[in-house]
Amino acid sequence: MKAADARVLLTGASGGIGRAMARTLRNAGAQVMGVGRGENGPAGMDWHRADLNEPDGAFHVARAAADWRANVVVHAAGVPGFGPLASIAPLQMEQVLQANLLAPMRLTQALLPQLLSLPRAQLVFVGSALGRIGLPGFSVYGASKAGLHGFAEALRRELADTRLRVQILGPRSTRTGFNGAAVEAYNLATGTAMDSPETVAAALLALIESEAAETFVGFPERLGVRLNGLLGARMDGSFAKHRRSLGTPKIQPTTPGANT
């Protein structure tokens, strides 16, 4: 779909990547409605306030999308999760899976009737290279994105006979506030490149206009995704410096009730 024909519902629109996506799409001629928990979104953008982690959040956003006549949905909202598994609190694990996987699944289900009624529509899930490459320190975050990739892939095949295209965008690490100082130090120690939000936004625009099934951003991550799919466990030795960069984890208690 050409940008000029797109009416894009964009979750996570107030974040670093989300703002860049909204700006790039609007500059290309698309209409954008942002979704976020804040009272107001970036200046000049249509805005719908909602918390997608709340039980009725998906319902209200789906109704707003139908009223606004959205024909493209970009699931860009999410939360980070970095560190050795032993140092991550159970509550944080739940929050990462809720925001990165369950919330977009519920919203997609709520949006389907309206999207399937349109002559053409697109669903774009913003995943991650870490959803296809298991990297030390990102076990929880990677699991949430791997689940999102699996959901999108299955849904794409489920809806192959309809006019709704399902797509996956897989960025690598990006220079925004989403990645804290610990991740930046880890990336520096391991030689991991980081893209600008504008690079990811440009990849999103290209994906929407191409209607391709999926695309991953950056090299060698694109190659890593392919190799990991082919070689699996034989790739394990490639991540020794990533493992060492985590240091000694602080162990979280796992007794009943100790999930904060």
Q: Check whether 195 has a pLDDT greater than 90.
A: no
User: Does residue 97 fall inside a structural domain?
Assistant: yes
Give me the pLDDT at residue 148, please. 96
User: Does residue 205 fall inside a structural domain?
Assistant: yes
Mean pLDDT of the region 176-192: 82
CATH number at residue 119: 3.40.50.720
Pick the closest to residue 192 from 221, 166, 163 (CA basis): 221
User: Does residue 254 fall inside a structural domain?
Assistant: no
Which residues is 191 bridged to in the sheet?
none
Q: Check whether 176 has a pLDDT greater than 90.
A: no
The HSE-up count of residue 215 (CA atoms within 13 Å, CB side) is 17
User: Does residue 252 fall inside a structural domain?
Assistant: no
Give the range of the structural domain holding residue 14, as residue numbers without chain letter.
Answer: 3-245
User: Could you give the residue ranges of the DSSP H alpha helices within 159-212?
Assistant: 181-190, 197-210
Q: What angle do CA 252, 84, 226 make, to 5 degrees?
A: 150
- 84 in Cβ contact with 138 (< 8 Å): no
> The tokens of 194 are what?
């980081």
Instruction: Output the CA–CA distances (angstroms, integers) from residue 45 to 23, 36, 131, in the order listed.
Output: 9, 12, 30
**Tens of pLDDT along 47-81?**
999 999 998 999 999 999 999 999 999 999 999 99
pTM attached to this predicted model: 0.85
Give me the pLDDT at residue 260, please. 43
Q: Check whether 175 has a pLDDT greater than 90.
A: no
User: Does residue 258 fall inside a structural domain?
Assistant: no
pLDDT-based confidence at 15, cuts 50/70/90?
confident
Choose from 134-138, 209-213, 255-259 the range with maximum mean pLDDT: 209-213
Distance CA 83, CA 26 (A): 36
**Tens of pLDDT along 223-249?**
777 776 776 676 667 767 776 777 766
User: Does residue 260 fall inside a structural domain?
Assistant: no
Residue positions annotated with a catalytic role: 141
User: Could you give the residue ranges of the DSSP H alpha helices within 38-79?
Assistant: 57-68
User: Does residue 255 fall inside a structural domain?
Assistant: no
Q: Check whether 186 has a pLDDT greater than 70.
A: yes
Give me the pLDDT at residue 256, please. 54
- The pLDDT mean for the chain works out to 88
Q: Check whether 181 has a pLDDT greater than 70.
A: yes
First to last CA, the chain: 44
Q: Who wins on pLDDT, 185 or 24?
A: 24
Q: How many domains does the chain have?
A: 1
User: Does residue 251 fall inside a structural domain?
Assistant: no
